[in-house]
Amino acid sequence: MGDPEVVVLAAMARELRPLARALRMRADPVGGLPAWRGRGIVAVAVGVGPERASAGTAHVLGQVRARRVLVVGVAGALDPALEVGDLVRPEAVVDVRTARVLVASRGGIPRSGVLATVDQIFLRGDGQAAGTSAPPLPDGATVVDMETAAIAAVADARGVGWDVVRAISDVAGTLTPDVAALLSPDGRVRLSAAVRLVLRHPPAAGRLVRLGVDTNRALKAMTGAVVRELAAEGVRP
């Protein structure tokens, strides 16, 4: 497997491309998954949702000798005090499906709040998962995503330390069911479905544009934080 590397994992390739550019990493798929490599680092997009993230992480850690795992990407805010572009370093991560609580292994970093990992990508305006069968979010949840708990559980099972750095890209009520349905399993937007949505409901165009702008803002903030953190431990272009 070679020397130990920092393994950076995200749901979507879009979340990793700015980091790959900043660190001058080269495209190098890992077991069919979109991935980039640099000196002492490999970044892989494992797919959207807890099941894909779990399987993808297990696949990656079976092929790469990991020094540690860093989960990155965007997340949705539940705490009204959080704004687009804010960085998230949670005190705990909760898998809403199982109620399992996971804690990052790296100490010495200021943390706050609770990140809840769900299997639905959209929330109602009150911050709860949409759909009558969706389990309630844990008390104190401040941020929501769809992969961190799944990735962390695999890392824990393999004895690999992990941490998470995410940035807020949307607030409760922004990522509605019709918008969420536009995303494919790898996180790409289904363009034909987006066109049909806008033709059927023209105001959706404004929401799509805003979400794109806010996502780019969040990715810029997240990438800068990750580059600084990696540079402190010797990972540079």
186-215, pLDDT tens digit by residue?
556 677 777 777 777 777 676 776 777 888
Q: What is the pLDDT of residue 132?
A: 41
Q: What is the pLDDT of residue 43?
A: 98
Q: What is the pLDDT of residue 141?
A: 93
Residue 59 in this model has a pLDDT that exceeds 90: yes
Q: Distance between CA atoms of 156 and 62, rounded to whole angstroms?
A: 14
Q: Which residue has the higher pLDDT, 170 or 148?
A: 148
**How much is the pTM?**
0.87
Portion of the chain with pLDDT greater than 70, in percent: 82
Q: Chain-wide mean pLDDT for the chain?
A: 87
How far, in whole angstroms, is CA 173 from its chain's centroid?
18
Of the chain, the end-to-end C-alpha distance in Å amounts to 22
Q: Using one digit for the tens of pLDDT, what is the confidence trace for 81-111?
A: 999 999 999 999 999 999 999 999 988 899 9
CATH T-level fold of 5-232: Rossmann fold (3.40.50)
Q: What is the pLDDT of residue 200?
A: 79
Q: What is the pLDDT of residue 5?
A: 92
Q: What is the pLDDT of residue 124?
A: 46
Q: What is the pLDDT of residue 197?
A: 73
- In three-state form (DSSP H/G/I as H, E/B as E, the rest C), the secondary structure along 93-116 is EEECCCCEEECCCCCCCCCCCEEE
Handedness of CA 124, 127, 130, 133 (dihedral sign): negative
Q: Distance between CA atoms of 120 and 118, rounded to whole angstroms?
A: 6
Residue 126 in this model has a pLDDT that exceeds 70: no
Task: Catalogue the E-assigned strands of 89-223.
Answer: 92-95, 100-102, 114-117, 141-145, 162-171
Task: Output the CA torsion 71→72→78→79 (10° steps).
Answer: 100
Residue 11 in this model has a pLDDT that exceeds 80: yes
Q: What is the pLDDT of residue 173?
A: 60
Task: Show contacts of 131-135: CB within 8 Å, 24+ apart.
Answer: 135/96, 135/97
Q: Distance between CA atoms of 93 and 13, rounded to whole angstroms?
A: 23
Portion of the chain with pLDDT greater than 90, in percent: 63
Average of pLDDT values for 216-221?
95
Residue 179 in this model has a pLDDT that exceeds 80: no
| Domain locations along the chain | 5-232
Q: Distance between CA atoms of 228 and 196, rounded to whole angstroms?
A: 41
